[in-house]
Amino acid sequence: MQINRRKFLGIAFATAAFATIGAAAASAATVEEIKAKGTLVVGIQGDNAPWGFVNTSGKQDGFDADIATLFAKELGVKVEFQPLAVANRIPALTTGKVDILFATMAMTEDRAKSIQYSKPYAANTISLYAAKADAAKAPADVAGWEIGVPKSSSQDKAVTDAVGSTATIRRFDDDAATIQALISGQVKAVGGNQFYGQRLDTASAGTYERKIDFLKTYNGVGTRLGEKDWNEAANSFIDKIKASGELAAITKKWMGIDLPTFPESIPNIPFTVK
């Protein structure tokens, strides 16, 4: 019996897709399985101080590293960090490469279609940064500018929504590359989080400043959709470290600010698995 080429390719692709989905599902461990294994693999940023970065000793450090280490302690396991580029965070989680994300995950409606968020545990502000010599007080002032952002980031969405129709948005692999693009003159401005100002000042003191605030965001722990055990563990943990003062202490340590007030809900972004 002969099978035509189109039908054969359809069967082949379906088989490959099924195998891929099966492999991803098989590698996604439950909370109890991780406790038995003894190691929690955490997806985190490796280039975005003070949120998540690799320090001069080659060790993962920062706000999210401290929070994730406490979470692993709560589970009674060791923590293993997997630094991820911005665009790779969600794929690493959904395919089971990492168990959970403490990775500067701004809570957006689009991402909530792919991952489950916890309650918020951090806040951030997305702003435009440029040279002091370049005047910009409103979105209309940056028409025709080239603006850099880390691709697939909250900065990407915020800047594109605000000025994407009048400015040219250039997307880079991560925060470090985005900042370097401004310093080297590849772009005229960048969309950055609330700590870009410090990083730019370290690179070139007195040259750059924050121009326009685009968006206030909140960060949540990322887990896989439908996995109630991970979501409940994350939310219970956040409640605990808020009540104990540990979250406030880590926020003060890395951000230099008091613990923000977090919303009880965000439209179209559930904090719990139903």
Angle at 73 between CA 68 and CA 76, to 5 degrees: 130
Q: 136-162, pLDDT tens digit by residue?
A: 999 999 999 999 999 999 999 999 999
Q: What mean pLDDT is predicted for residues 170-197?
A: 96
Q: Is the pLDDT of residue 23 over 50?
A: no
Angle at 59 between CA 57 and CA 64, to 5 degrees: 135
Q: 82-122, pLDDT tens digit by residue?
A: 999 999 999 999 999 999 999 999 999 999 999 999 999 99
CATH topology of domain 29-123+219-255: D-Maltodextrin-Binding Protein; domain 2 (3.40.190)
- Asked whether the beta carbons of 118 and 225 are under 8 A apart, the reply is no
Q: What mean pLDDT is predicted for residues 10-27?
A: 41
Where does 37-194 show beta strands of DSSP type E? 39-44, 47-48, 52-54, 60-61, 78-83, 100-101, 115-131, 146-150, 168-172, 189-192
Q: What mean pLDDT is predicted for residues 6-13?
A: 39
Q: Which residues in the chain are classed under CATH 3.40.190.10?
A: 29-123+219-255, 125-216
Q: Is the pLDDT of residue 178 over 70?
A: yes
- Those residues whose C-beta lies under 8 Å from the C-beta of residue 185, and which sit 6 or more positions away, are none
Q: Is the pLDDT of residue 22 over 80?
A: no
- Cα(213)–Cα(247) distance, integer angstroms: 26
Q: Which of 160, 190, 162 is nearest to 176 (CA)?
A: 190
Q: Is the pLDDT of residue 253 over 90?
A: yes
Q: What mean pLDDT is predicted for residues 216-244?
A: 98
The chain-wide mean pLDDT, for the chain, equals 91
- At residue 11, the pLDDT reads 37
- Cα(212)–Cα(253) distance, integer angstroms: 26
230: its two tokens: 């991970």
Burial of 125 (C-beta count, 10 Å sphere; 0-12/13-18/19+) = middle
For residue 88, what is the DSSP state? G
- Asked whether the beta carbons of 86 and 150 are under 8 A apart, the reply is yes
Q: Is the pLDDT of residue 168 over 60?
A: yes
pTM check: above 0.95: no
Q: What mean pLDDT is predicted for residues 255-261?
A: 93
CATH architecture of 125-216: 3-Layer(aba) Sandwich (3.40)
List C-alpha distances in Å: 259 to 51, 66, 121, 122, 208.
Answer: 15, 15, 9, 8, 27
Q: Which of 165, 161, 215 is nearest to 193 (CA)?
A: 215
Q: What sign has the CA pseudo-torsion 4, 7, 13, 18?
A: negative
